[in-house]
Structure 1
């Protein structure tokens, strides 16, 4: 997995199509894109009609580029991308995982620390912080799905 397109294909394997679960604070979603994010990115249609191409464009700008995923080992970039897309604190988890200053901004210091670290250790630590966060949310309706998502991501990375 070395390109955004490959990462997006793997990510969409974790996402469903349309959802409007009242227990989900993200609300109405299509391809994992929330209505709030879609509207903020200029989408004005019905969420059920949001195309995969529009979702991919939003994913590239809002989650892949914003978190500078191209600048990391592909395994790390995918984990950060998936976590950003799914919600949480991916910049802080990445900084904790590589020993960088935890300020929530991915800048030159974070990139240097990530690139100097063992990629597999970063992935394992990153996912450990992510799992701790998800467990703290106390949302049993979604816990199994989140755990399976992270397990799937680790399996993809092990290929």
Structure 2
């Protein structure tokens, strides 16, 4: 699994131009909000956002920026999940869920020490992930994907509670975002 195939997969799931009244992101194309596109130098109509611009934004902001590329070198499927989740729910949130899962899976510190949950995928998080993978072996990918999906699914259900505008998106999120990366 390459970064290119992961990003292209995210673009496919995100689809083309959308400007849904319930989406606080406003005009979006290939999953890139107008605010993010503008922050990355795009000045045109969002309907005309080039795929190459979307790809560059995904690569810099959703792969390299949060250091998910360092996870890719260890476990491509977990990296794919982090990137996909980062696009849809925010990179800080995806990184924090990853760190929380690592802390919850260390058997109260027997396998490796707890790490700081700060959304920064640095050497401490990567060392914990390496230790987790060593202890859990082949099952580590499945376990981590399920933990990340659990956090993500709960997040979406929470967003959609109490008749919120996010109810418009809940079915799609659960269908296309939770459980979409298989080991």
Assess same fold via TM > 0.5. yes
1:35 is matched with which residue? 34
Greater C-alpha radius of gyration: 2
CA contact (8 A) 1:28 1:35 kept: yes
Quick one: structure 1 residues 152 and 119, their matched pair in 2 at CA, closer, same or farther if it must change by over 3 Å?
A: closer
Q: CA deviation at 1:149?
A: 1.5
Taking structure 1 as the reference length, the TM-score comes to 0.91
CA contact (8 A) 1:97 1:126 kept: yes
Counterpart of 1:91 (choices 92, 95, 100) is: 95
2:10 is matched with which residue? 11
Taking structure 2 as the reference length, the TM-score comes to 0.80
CA contact (8 A) 2:78 2:145 kept: yes
RMSD in angstroms over aligned alpha carbons?
A: 1.3
Consecutive unaligned residues in structure 2, runs of 5 or more: 104-114, 133-139, 161-165
Task: Name the stretch that deviates more: 143-152 or 53-62.
Answer: 143-152
Which SS does the other structure have where 1:14 is aligned? helix
Deviations 1:88-120 (A, max 9, x none): 411111101111321222111111112222222
Find the aligned partners of 2:28 and 2:66 in 1 and give their Cα distance: 21
Task: Name the stretch that deviates more: 66-75 or 17-26.
Answer: 66-75
Consecutive unaligned residues in structure 1, runs of 5 or more: none
Aligned length: 155
Q: CA deviation at 1:123?
A: 1.3
Task: Name the stretch that deviates more: 65-74 or 128-137.
Answer: 65-74
2:54 is matched with which residue? 55
Task: Name the stretch that deviates more: 65-74 or 112-121.
Answer: 112-121
Counterpart of 1:114 (choices 117, 129, 137) is: 129
Task: Name the stretch that deviates more: 118-127 or 52-61.
Answer: 118-127
